[in-house]
Each structure stands twice: as structure tokens, then as C-alpha cells.
Amino acid sequence: MKQVLPLAAAVLSLAACNGAPPSTTTNSMTSAGSTEPAADNIAAPETDAVDATPTAAPAASPTTAAVSVDAKKWAGRWIGVEGTYLNVTPTGANTASLEMQYDLDNKGTYPATVTPEGLRFTRGGEQMLLRPSDGDATGLKWLAGKKDCLTVKSGEGYCRA
């Protein structure tokens, strides 16, 4: 009996600390401790929702007449940060080979197609675009202020040495 009494007292004191549990019926869920109904917190359905199902991008097959940019414009070595680099080698009028060390642990060579926006390539199953930019657009403080750069995405860019 002596052991049951302290346990019962502990349970009662914990139960007394908590108020009545919030209602869990539809449209009356509350935030922890709140007594206001959460009906105004229900997200409205999106009316302009776009289907998020990934689809394969159409293969880029530019013609010489459609593309006014030549891979030779970007030929050569581009320097990133922390040992990253990009070597662009034209392989045809509208194609190039991209040899890149794109982070500390990964490097590879990828075929690219010249588009009006830049060099389109696939890395790790993901379509990517290497586009002309300045150092500020790379998002890398060590490239900030440079003028002749190529950016894959924020945090990955390369500039002329």
C-alpha cells in the first residue's frame, strides 16, 4: 500500500498540470495549448497546382540555324572554389565535353549540347544547364566580383582564371 500511494499521487499531480485535452474533431484541431479552433489554419487547396510528376525532358537537338552560340566561346579551363574546376572542350559545332571536379569528392566527364541559354548536360540523371553569369550569380564569395563565369546552380560555378 505504501508503494501505491506515491505512484497515485504522481499520476494525479501530472494530470492536474494538464488542462482538458484539445478536441480532435475535424476543423477543431488546436495548436498546443491554444483554445482557438484551427479552422483558419487549414491550408486552402492550390488552384494553380502543377503536376509534380517528373517527366523526361525532351532531348535537345539544336540545329546550326537555331543556335547562334558556338561551344568555342566557352572552350578552356574555368576555376571554381576549393579545388573545383571545369574544362570545356568543343566536340562539334553544337556539342562539347565537360570535364569537371564539381565538389570535393566528385568529378566526371559529361557530353553537353550548346543551347542559346548555355551548355545543357545530364549529371547523375538530372538535366543541368551551365549558363553564362558573373561571379556574384554563382553564390560563392570567392568568385564574387568576377565578370566571366559559368554557373550550374547556386553554390556551383566556375570563372576564367
What are the pLDDT digits (tens) for 66-120? 435 677 889 999 999 999 999 999 999 899 999 999 999 999 999 999 999 999 9
Range of the domain at 92: 71-160
Q: Is residue 31 included in any domain, yes or no?
A: no
Cβ within 8 Å of residue 45, ≥6 positions away: none
Cβ within 8 Å of residue 67, ≥6 positions away: 94, 114, 115, 116
Q: Is residue 79 included in any domain, yes or no?
A: yes
Indicate whether 19 pLDDT > 70.
Answer: no
Q: Is residue 41 included in any domain, yes or no?
A: no
pLDDT mean across residues, the chain: 74
Q: Is residue 81 included in any domain, yes or no?
A: yes
In whole angstroms, give the CA distance from residue 34 to residue 49: 31
49, 32 contact by CB (below 8 A): no
Structural domain count, the chain: 1
pLDDT of the residue at 17: 53
Q: Which three cell numbers stand for residue 104?
A: 570535393
Sign of the CA dihedral 50, 51, 53, 58?
A: negative
Indicate whether 5 pLDDT > 60.
Answer: no
Q: Which three cell numbers stand for residue 7?
A: 505512484
pTM value? 0.57
Residue that wins the pLDDT comparison between 64 and 69: 69
Q: Is residue 99 included in any domain, yes or no?
A: yes
Locus of grid cell 560563392 = 140
Q: Is residue 156 included in any domain, yes or no?
A: yes
Side chain identity at residue 45, one-letter code: P
Burial of 83-106, coded b for 16+ CB within 10 Å and e otherwise, reads: ebbbbbebeeebebbbebbbeeee
Residue ranges of alpha helices (H) inside the chain are 4-17
In whole angstroms, give the CA distance from residue 129 to residue 112: 9
pLDDT of the residue at 67: 39
